[in-house]
Amino acid sequence: MKNVSPPQINAGSMADIAFLLLVFFLVVTTIDADAGMFRKLASMDEVESQKIHERNILNVWVNKEDKIMIDGKEVELFQVYDIATNFIENPKNDVLLPQKEWKTIPVLGEREVSKQVISIQNDESTSYGQYIAVQNELARAYNHLRDQLSEQEFQMTFEELKKTGAIEKANAIKTIYPMRISEALPIVSTN
């Protein structure tokens, strides 16, 4: 009897097939990139040197059930924009809303500038989506006021000012409505 070896599969092209599959999955697969918020943080010198009067602070808190509290009152997400806009602008110089001070602004001259600060805090169990939604509403309030003033003074939106290279004008708008959002450390739940 003759020793017969079992038939073998030609594996020469298996490496080529595996490589082609790897390339295919690399090309077709999309990898989600982390999204974030672009915000310039205040320097430690600015933070430590400021004594902030209580009326100049709007306290926003998002609790572990994703409920929003502004200065101790529960509000809905759609209300955050209006409350923040009114707080930042203080159109009637209400004594319960932020103080204003006169400043000489390049390009715009003498203007009243609010001393407002929005402090946002969350619970450690707050959902990321709700926290970002609140942040977006606050940013939308600032952007609305900046656009409104920019259109009134320069007949274009704040973003258009920046895109056209009118940096001095854009900086003047930012000086009147500086985005002051303070993010406090999350509260640790005891439950």
Q: What is the average per-residue pLDDT within 54-64?
A: 91
* Least confident window among 41-45, 128-132, 173-177: 41-45
The count of C-alpha atoms lying within 13 angstroms of the C-alpha of 33, restricted to the half-sphere facing its C-beta, is 2
b/e sequence 163-181, b meaning 16+ C-beta within 10 Å: eeebeebbebbbbbbbbbb
Dump pLDDT digits (tens) for 146-156. Answer: 999 999 999 99
Q: Is the dihedral of CA 164, 135, 96, 85 positive or negative?
A: positive
Place of tokens 């594996």: 11
Domain range list for the chain: 46-183
Q: What are phi and psi of 188, to 5 degrees?
A: -85, 125
> What is the pLDDT, as a whole number, of residue 35?
59
> What is the pLDDT, as a whole number, of residue 189?
63
Q: What is the dihedral of CA 148, 149, 154, 160, to 10 degrees?
A: -60
Among 137, 40, 29, 49, CA closest to 87: 137
> What is the pLDDT, as a whole number, of residue 34?
58
Q: What are phi and psi of 55, to 5 degrees?
A: -70, -15
> What is the pLDDT, as a whole number, of residue 39?
56
The alpha carbon of 24 is separated from its chain's Cα centroid by a whole number of angstroms, namely 37
d(C-alpha 147, C-alpha 91), whole Å: 16
Using 50, 70 and 90 to split pLDDT, how confident is the model at 1? Answer: low
Q: What is the dihedral of CA 48, 49, 55, 58, to 10 degrees?
A: -40
| Whether the predicted pLDDT of 24 surpasses 70 | yes
Q: What is the DSSP letter of 181?
A: E
> What is the pLDDT, as a whole number, of residue 134?
94
3-state secondary structure 67-84: CEEECCEEECHHHHHHHH
Long-range contacts of 145-148 (CB under 8 A, 24+ apart): 145/85, 145/88, 145/89, 145/177, 146/173, 146/174, 146/177
| Whether the predicted pLDDT of 118 surpasses 70 | yes
d(C-alpha 180, C-alpha 21), whole Å: 51
pTM of the model: 0.73
d(C-alpha 128, C-alpha 122), whole Å: 10
In the chain, what percentage of residues exceed pLDDT 70?
A: 86
Q: What is the average per-residue pLDDT within 22-35?
A: 78
